[in-house]
Structure 1
Amino acid sequence: MTDSRSLGKASRPVFGGCALVRRITATAALIGLSIGSSVAGQQATPAPPPPSVVLAPFFEEVALSDLFPDGKLWADAEPRRASAEILRDYSGNRPANDAALRAFVAANFKLAPPVTQQAQPTFGLPLRAHIRELWPLLTRSTPTTPSWSSLLPLPNPYVVPGGRFTEIYYWDSYFTMLGFGPEQAKLQRGMVDNFAHLITTYGHVPNGNRSYYLSRSQPPFFFKMVELTNPEHPAKAFAAYLRALKAEYRYWMNGADRLKPGQAAARVVRMANGALLNRYWDDRDAPRDEAYRVDVTAATASGRTASLVYRNLRAGAESGWDYSSRWFADGKSLGSVRTSDIVPPDLNSLMFGLEGAIADGCAELHDQACVTIFRGKARARASAMRRHLWNGTTGLYDDYLWTGQRLLGNVSAASLYPLFFRVASQAEADSTARVVERELLKPGGLVTTNITTGQQWDAPNGWAPLQWIAVGGLRNYGETQLAETIARRWLTTVAKVYADTGKLLEKYDVVTLRPGGGGEYPLQDGFGWTNGTTIGLMKLYPGVPGSISKPAITASGDSAARSTPWP
């Protein structure tokens, strides 16, 4: 689908990675169609359809009922028998009321508890020891999966985030791996191989290993995970995984060669001047299986074409920032979401890094033609980012509304990605640092945006991956004091909340140094990327409070924040 609407090298960075400066609708028609591009001349495996298609219309009735406050629990439910049999019984004797519907679901589906209900770590440990004990509790092995499950098999064990997230997640995994030690080397390599397997199988890395995630990806951090397998010689690692890296690049750039200026196709936008940049997208325009009622409610309230709202909600999920004022036309309402109209600096910084990684891998293999092509692509992207995404008024890299040909004036932690991947000039980095310090630095670390909306990717929340990107990006440009301030404040927040609750959480309120809030689902603990970045930052800044913090113990001897019992 095409939108047609108006509209050198550097020394190896400390954090940034590479040497280079760098509608498928919700119908049964989805069955048998391949998602993603071909890999090395071979067509990607047909994508298994999601539960909303396989179980239609029964899935929708349950999803829109009050049976599951969290829709993901329903999307993840494992059928006890073939869907055709379930649908036959449903059609022949439809449940007459909620109680009958609940009984039908219970008789035909298994519901899995959240990860942190399945096992509990020892309470009272220092934070670092607690994280070490969490790794095996968060590790899963699913080389085969039940016949009718939405879970996709993976050849090697992997770490899940925790809580409601019982499968692997794409961009989470890079930040999770930052906390691995030598004893997790095999696990880390296996996880990287899992992602390469997903690319080879489906043509891309999906959001997670669920059938309902196959229509989209997440921020493309695969090359950064590859780099972790050989940090001293990253080019060798890139060369070893070059086939998968190139295949992922084809996925993100699919359709670029057909675009005229001012057009977009899938994840690519050709700017008015002919430059190519990327946006977030989803190949489907139906409610998300895992948030079906949320999406239908938002679309109904919006007054807009429902499929347009669904597509943009899905694209927002691909961004990882689900959701943020960055994606809203009115700055506050889910129904105004317009993610696919926006060219973001974080995604394009990642694409710059991927282009550089491919060039470095090709150089290792002495493929000069490939080196020339991908270094040229990276230089062209950096130039396009500087021209279109640099906001001289706000003094940082900004989100660009390609359908309106204007910058949006968003102040967010996404502006630090061009520093992390060394796209920015020194002057741009200096300016970004000052704006970030003034607008986003809070007592507990870096806040996600300077706007409070009730969405989880807005103020007052801070997120572990954004702290890592900020610290690394600032260090790359000599802003060491601000980098250390962010790291220490964040680690203090993590340590304080751990001392209060005995948990590591998905997100934190960096204004009050308390657990975070907002969004579509309750706060989750576990938590993969918080664990990983905490260890990573402790290594950079030893002696911080987090290295010695222990959880408070209640009079009963239990941690003050044991998870509530599984219903």
Structure 2
Amino acid sequence: MPGAAAQGQTPPNAQSQHAPQSPQVLFGPLFEAVQSMRIFPDGKTFVDAVPREDADAILAAWRSERPQGAEALRAFVRRHFDVPPGPDERLGLRAHIAALWPQLTRPPLTPPPGSSALPLPAAYVVPGGRFREPYYWDSYFTMLGLKADGRRDLVESMIDDFVSLIERYGHIPNGARTYYLSRSQPPFFALMLDLSEQADPAVRARRLAALRKEYAYWMAGEACAKTGKKPCARVVPMPDGSLLNRYWDDRDTPRDESFAEDRATAAKASSRPAADTYRDLRAGAESGWDFSSRWLTDPQDLATIRTAAIVPIDLNALIWAMETRIAKGCAEAADQSCQREFTRRADARKAAVDRYLWLAKESRYADWSRDDGKPTAVLSSAALYPLFVGMASPAQAKAVAATTRGKLVAPGGLRTTGTHTGQQWDAPNGWAPLQWVAVDGLGRYDEQDLARDIAGRWIKTVSVTYNETGKMLEKYDVEEQRPGGGGEYPLQDGFGWTNGVTSAILERYPTIAP
């Protein structure tokens, strides 16, 4: 008589007793109920779902609840399983973002010879699209979402990467590429440290040292600005001798990554040296607002860019935050002389901001033009940065809130500026980081209704666009609640800081419906 195998049967013990069980075996009666009731159009959907607990616990919950009907059973399954989207089904916003983090995460990097990438010792998250490396200020807003979504490991590893960059290069470059080393970006490292839960004294001491080194980078022109009484590197002496900061770049050539575009812009500005135009374009890139009417003498003409002549409110608010964090860190380390020095520096900066960048009659903070010797006429959402870092007085915050409500709130969120120029950091565009700066800053000063209103408008814009495109985008048109436009490159999806801010807002306001 031929053996069982010869007859097409499986011989006893031919399969490993340790082979994993199929969903039908694991979930038995629950599996049968789900598949029999066809609660998902595709029968493969449930069997590809990932249980959030072990099978026994899920079955016990099912027997206890006994959900009746397809809707109740579907809700039960979604509570206890991570369900993949079906052919005509899209994940909710938070689930979609959680699924994107692994796609945007990169392992530690040792670049091959000749690569423009900078080495990074720990895992990091990239924005997405054409942005294949971590960017400085983007990363703070990405970290907000990582923390909200339980990825504190990535928050810590990204901070480790930034510490490494500061230790090697003296600052955090615009992005982790060689061609970005001549500039930085809005200095959020101090606020990144606020997100950390690191308790190790040695690690905290190393990070404080890195923060002080970054501060030295931003203040490297201090001595020559005082003696020469004119701007030096990133430091600007104000008319009364106080010191504030500006965006700058250590090079005055076309940007490597925008070489042809910069040469074309400089050619249009034929009345000034090309090197000056290149420097201002580079400084505009350091600002993160590349580009905006904030930096233009003619809002409709990029060739009139004068970034280095502007003392920006957002930068000086962030450096004030840096000074206060250093003072606090030095106090914790019992370094009283350091604590006194940085408390004095923070107080001096706030006084200078209040004197030159606060316009009480217009109820707003403004950028200040060195060329004109007065604040600029551009109202932008950068005016909310002093609220975001806690630098504003209660009266200033109340006034800024009124201006924001009356002039900056659009149907789909917060306007970047009120000027339509075709530049991407102007109307009608809105950007995730500026939404968070506004929401968090207004909330800090108990302007809760306005904060929640902006948050709700923004989430609606992101949600409508996601439902139409299936994508999280770099920027949005907050007038029409659709994908944004303008700029030097096509609209990017991914997208790190939009993911981060969306998750952070929904974590803060769980009743806002996406």
The normalised TM-score by structure 1 is 0.73
- Residue in structure 2 matched with residue 171 of structure 1 by the alignment: 137
Aligned to 1:416: 384
Which residue matches 1:63? none
Are residue 337 (structure 1) and residue 305 (structure 2) matched? yes
CA distance in 2, matches of 1:380, 1:307: 33
SS in 1 for 2:247: coil
Aligned to 2:250: 283
Q: State the partner residue of 2:488.
A: 520
User: What secondary structure sits across from 2:330 in the alignment?
Assistant: helix
Deviation (angstroms), 1:178: 0.5
AA matched with 1:264: P
| Partner amino acid, structure 1, of 2:259 | Y
User: Is it true that 1:388 corresponds to 2:356 in the alignment?
Assistant: yes
Aligned residue in 2 for 1:220? 187
1:476 matches 2:444 = yes
Aligned to 1:505, which of 473, 483, 497?
473
Pairwise CA distance, 1:121: 9.9
Aligned with 1:269: secondary structure?
strand
Report which structure shows greater RCO (CA 8 Å, sep ≥6): 1
User: 2-side partners of 1:121 and 1:195: how far apart?
Assistant: 36
2:188 alignment partner AA: F
Whether contact under 8 Å (2:183, 2:249) holds in the other structure is yes
Residue 300 of structure 1, aligned match among 248, 256, 267: 267
In structure 2, the residue matched to 1:124 is 90
Change (3 A) 1:234 1:255: farther
The 1-side partners of 2:175 and 2:312 are apart by: 22
Partners of 2:191 and 2:202 in 1: CA distance? 13
| 1:258 to partner: Cα distance | 2.1
Q: CA deviation at 1:312?
A: 0.2
Per the alignment, do residues 164 and 257 of structure 1 end up closer, same or farther by CA in structure 2, a change over 3 Å counting?
same
Deviations 1:76-131 (A, max 9, x none): xxxxxxxxxxxxxxxxxxxxxxxxxxxxxxxxxxxxxxxxxxxx999721111110
Quote the RMSD (CA, aligned, Å).
Answer: 1.9
Pick which of 389-398 and 448-457 moved more.
389-398
Q: 2:450, 2:274 → 1: CA distance?
A: 44
Is the aligned partner of 1:140 residue 2:117?
A: no
**Local SS of the residue matching 1:532:** helix
Please show how residues 58-73 of structure 1 align to structure 2 within 5 Å.
none
- Indicate which of 307, 310, 318 corresponds to 2:286: 318
Distance 1:476 1:234 in 2: 29
Asked if 1 retains the 8 angstrom alpha-carbon contact of 2:280 and 2:306, the reply is yes
Give distance in 2, aligned partners of 1:530 and 1:189: 20
Q: In structure 2, what is the Cα distance between the partners aligned to 1:507 and 1:318? A: 18
Aligned mate of 2:125, from 159, 171, 177: 159
Residues 497 and 243 (structure 1), Cα distance of their counterparts in 2 relative to 1, 3 Å cut = same
Residue type at the aligned position of 1:311: R
Alignment of 1:73-88 (within 5 A): none
Report how many aligned residue pairs link the two structures.
426
The CA deviation at 1:394 is 2.1
Q: What is the CA-CA distance between 1:153 and the residue it aligns to?
A: 1.2
2:394 maps to what in 1? 426
The secondary structure found in structure 2 opposite 1:277 is: strand
1:544 matched to 2:512? The reply is yes
Q: How does 1:321-400 map to 2 (within 5 A)?
A: 321-400=289-368
Q: Partners in 2 of 1:176 and 1:280 — Cα distance?
A: 23
Aligned to 1:150: 116
CA contact (8 A) 1:121 1:130 kept: no
2:30 aligned partner: none
Name the CA distance, whole Å, in 2 between partners of 1:165 and 1:450.
28
Amino acid paired to 1:406: K
**Structure with the largest fraction of helix:** 2
For 2:513 and 2:350, how far apart are their aligned partners in 1? Answer: 39
| Letter of the structure 1 residue corresponding to residue 251 of structure 2 | R
SS in 1 for 2:244: strand
Q: Where does the alignment leave 5 or more consecutive residues of structure 2 unmatched? A: 1-83
What SS does the aligned partner of 1:393 have?
helix
The answer for the alignment partner of 1:64 in structure 2 is none
Residue 417 (structure 2) aligns with: 449
The answer as to whether partners of 1:284 and 1:311 remain within 8 angstroms in 2 is yes
Q: Conserved in 1, the CA contact under 8 Å of 2:439 and 2:452?
A: yes
Maintained 8 Å contact 2:174/2:180? yes
Q: Secondary structure at the match of 1:178?
A: helix
Q: CA-to-partner distance for each residue in 1:234-275, whole Å, 9 max, x for gaps?
A: 999864511100000000000202223741111011112110
Q: CA deviation at 1:143?
A: 2.5
Q: Is the 8 A contact 2:85 2:91 kept in 1?
A: no
Deviates more, 1:390-399 or 1:182-191: 182-191
**Gaps in structure 1 of 5+ consecutive residues:** 1-119, 547-567
Alpha carbons of 1:121 and 1:184: their partners in 2 closer, same or farther (altered >3 Å)?
farther
Q: 2:238: which partner in 1?
A: 271
Say whether the 8 Å CA contact 1:267–1:281 is kept in structure 2.
Answer: yes
Q: Does residue 198 in structure 1 map to residue 165 in structure 2? A: yes
Q: Is the 8 A contact 2:183 2:248 kept in 1?
A: yes
Q: Distance between the aligned counterparts of 2:373 and 2:180, measured in 1?
A: 31
Q: 4+ residue runs of structure 1 moved beyond 4 angstroms?
A: 120-123, 233-240
- Please give the TM-score of this superposition, normalised by the length of structure 2: 0.80
